[in-house]
Structure 1
Amino acid sequence: MILSKLSQKAQKRLIIFSFTIVPIVLLLMFSYYPLVKMVQYSLTDWNGISPSSNYLGFANYEKVFSNPNYFGVFKTSLYYFLSSFPQLGLALLFATILSFKVKFANFWKGILFFPYLLNGVAIGFMFLYFYKTGGTLDSLLHLFGIHHLPLWLGNQSINNISLSFVSIWRYMGFNFLIFLGAIQSVDPEIYEAAEIDGANRWNQFRYIIIPAIRNILFLNIILSVSGSLSVFEVPYIMTGGANGTMTFVIQTVQTAFNYNQVGLASAMAVILLIIVVLVSAAQFILTQDRSDAKKKAGA
């Protein structure tokens, strides 16, 4: 009845507003409001239980920056960052192979991308049994006559490497899909012209594919930095952060819920957010600079 009395233009505006206001309210309620409260808590000594708290100013931030136990866990992120290079290398290799004519190409694409669709908690439990003593990995190595095996998750010298392999297996499909889309966006006539000129697959990869996906490759490296800083699910499920596998996010969660220091944990979360934002901003600026340089070179 109300809509019938409005003009067509007013009806259109009302419908757009009605469909827009709900997601905006949800976004403000579940994203931005908690962010504001987190910043507020980071300036207090709230324990997550008491109805009141004391204002501390930037004391929590000073504690995080001055105590090496908090920032020292970032060295664990290096394992995940370094593992991103073989991850990207394998993803690029499979994307290049499957961009050409291969039998059952869609089947192999599905196999490679499937791990990325799995829930992180499920992956953690899967590899927990994979790495346990007498588990799947040990059984496979026993078949090849290898019997003196380490504790894959208990030995501090290799446990982070073991966890990094889980990250490679999980995220390689995502990088593979991005690389595949970038490679397939190249004009097929370029490959045909290269074949006529006698270029083999390696030359096509080196002189056609790599220059075409340079920006995508650079973007994935930057994303690997922010991803390695925020690792949580897999190490939390598999080791709980024990034996040197503690990450900054796990430490933040334990500070909040195990030690009831929500104010300090909020400060840690704000610091991590700022680092990720800075990395994302650097990625945007560097990508823009590369795009602008490429346009100038083309001009």
Structure 2
Amino acid sequence: MRPRWFTPWLYLLAPLALLVTFTYLPVLDMIGYSFTDWDGLSPTSDVVGLHNYTDLFTRPELFQVFTVSLFYLAGSAVQIAAALYFATVLSFRTRLRTLFKGILFFPYLINGVAVGFVFLYFFQPGGTLDTVLHQVGVGPRLWLGDPDLVNPSLAAVSVWRFMGLNMVLFIGAIQSIPPDLHEASALDGANRWQQFRHIIAPAIRPIIALSAILAISGSLSVFEIPFIMTGGANNSETFVIQTVKLAFTFDKTGLASAAAVVLLLIVLAVTWVQRRLFPDERVELT
């Protein structure tokens, strides 16, 4: 008996219903709120058209927070480079490689709130970091209180937490490479660097591109780590923290919705540009 054309859609019905209910419908509501002056509590609101967007683009201070994203973007580059290095090393025959994989991936499994509180003690004056640095003659610092140090410190926390996820993605991609290629290159006298440059890097290029897209979008929408550790103080406020404050502190849900829509459009635009500049290419390894 031939399967009916709608049979696959029956299996997709439940996940599609959840996706529409908890993703697309809230996005449509958010877009609708962005054209109103709703305060988040009143049962009624007035339509203000593009006033929220005009207000958003004519107040430079609302976009200055994007400079904080540059620290996280730089941290993402370090994160991807470190993940690629460890994934390559641990893909070869290395002693205790399973143990090291678990150690490096473990931070990603920890709840973000717990990570924030752990590093609050790590960075506090006289805390773990100051104690370690004191042993090499470095004096204490206000890691979360100094505007020049707070953003690099918070970006380093993000690198520590998410590097393991990228490493696992890279390891999975590297393991899909036929082992015969590694053996043949080793017989030809290729060292580890040459194997990485000519075999591994071209083969996992789509995964590297995916990680770069996730890194850029994540850098623009950082929230939980700085919110928990500093609350946006000392020039550590991100665009998302600012949006949350507009909605829940200043009761400007309409303006906050407009900011969220703008952030969504920026992320989509960056993703589109990156996909145009670095399109997926099927790599044939022979």
Check whether TM > 0.5: yes
- The alpha-carbon distance between structure 1 residues 193 and 26, as it changes in their structure 2 partners (threshold 3 A), is closer
Deviations 1:98-153 (A, max 9, x none): 1110112111111111111111111111111110112111122223333x221000
Aligned AA (2:93): K
Q: Give the conservation status (yes or no) of the 8 Å contact 1:125–1:237.
A: yes
Q: Which of these residues, 104, 115, 125, is aligned with residue 107 of structure 2?
A: 115
The number of residues matched between the two structures is: 285
Is 1:52 matched with 2:52?
Answer: no
Q: Which of these residues, 169, 183, 202, is aligned with residue 178 of structure 1?
A: 169
Aligned AA (1:74): F
Give the aligned partner of residue 220 of structure 2.
229
**Structure 1, 42-51 or 258-267: larger mean CA deviation:** 42-51
Q: Give the conservation status (yes or no) of the 8 Å contact 2:75–2:156.
A: yes
- For 2:178 and 2:24, locate their aligned partners in 1 and report how far apart those are by CA, in whole Å: 43
Q: Give the conservation status (yes or no) of the 8 Å contact 1:215–1:287.
A: no
Aligned AA (2:137): G
**Structure 1, 162-171 or 212-221: larger mean CA deviation:** 212-221
Deviation, 1:246, is: 0.5
Deviation, 1:58, is: 0.6
- For 1:264 and 1:242, locate their aligned partners in 2 and report how far apart those are by CA, in whole Å: 21
Is 1:291 matched with 2:281?
Answer: yes
Query: 1:148-227 alignment to 2 at 5 Å?
Result: 148-227=139-218
Is 1:127 matched with 2:119?
Answer: yes
Aligned AA (1:111): I
- For 2:19 and 2:182, locate their aligned partners in 1 and report how far apart those are by CA, in whole Å: 46
Query: 1:273-284 alignment to 2 at 5 Å?
Result: 273-284=264-275
* TM-score using structure 1 length: 0.88
Gaps of 5+ in 2: none
SS in 2 for 1:174: helix
Q: Which of these residues, 72, 76, 87, is aligned with residue 64 of structure 2?
A: 72
- For 2:223 and 2:152, locate their aligned partners in 1 and report how far apart those are by CA, in whole Å: 15
Q: Which of these residues, 92, 98, 104, is aligned with residue 106 of structure 1?
A: 98
**Structure 1, 248-257 or 198-207: larger mean CA deviation:** 198-207
Q: Give the conservation status (yes or no) of the 8 Å contact 2:232–2:241.
A: yes
- For 1:33 and 1:217, locate their aligned partners in 2 and report how far apart those are by CA, in whole Å: 32
Deviation, 1:214, is: 2.6
Q: Give the conservation status (yes or no) of the 8 Å contact 2:126–2:140.
A: no
Deviation, 1:164, is: 0.7
Is 1:245 matched with 2:233?
Answer: no
Give the aligned partner of residue 85 of structure 2.
93
Aligned AA (1:85): A
- The alpha-carbon distance between structure 1 residues 23 and 179, as it changes in their structure 2 partners (threshold 3 A), is closer
* Structure exhibiting the larger radius of gyration computed from Cα positions: 1
Give the aligned partner of residue 41 of structure 1.
33
Deviations 1:23-75 (A, max 9, x none): 44333332222211111110011111111111110110111111111111000
* TM-score using structure 2 length: 0.92
Deviation, 1:252, is: 0.2
SS in 2 for 1:260: coil
Aligned AA (2:74): L
Deviation, 1:9, is: 7.2
